[in-house]
Amino acid sequence: MAERAFVGRNTITRVEKGDPGVSLGIYATVLFVLGLAERLATLADISVDEVGQSLDEQRLPTRVRESDYSGDAP
């Protein structure tokens, strides 16, 4: 694995342990070597980010004013 990812064995061990000091590029390379590169797309997919969606909903205004505009053109 280390040879195919062009990293040392120590780095692969750190990846396996989830070491946050390992660069995202190394994680991406390891996923590619394992044939799991498509999972990278889900990292930034807002449709599966339940926490982010919840935080966005909390920021929405809780009260909406009715517009004075009636929609009729003069």
Summarize pLDDT for 8-50 with one digit per residue, the tens. Answer: 999 999 999 999 999 999 999 999 999 998 888 887 788 888 8
Domain for residue 27, yes or no? Answer: yes
What is the spatial distance between Cα 44 and Cα 47, in angstroms, rounded to a whole number?
9
Neighbours of 49 (CB within 10 A): 14
Residue 71 binned pLDDT confidence (cut-offs 50, 70, 90): low
Residue 16: which domain range? 9-59
Predicted confidence at residue 74, as pLDDT, reads 57
Report the alpha-carbon angle 51-52-54, nearest 5.
65
Helix (H) or strand (E) holding 43: none
Predicted confidence at residue 61, as pLDDT, reads 82
Domain count, the chain: 1
Domain for residue 44, yes or no? Answer: yes
Domain for residue 73, yes or no? Answer: no
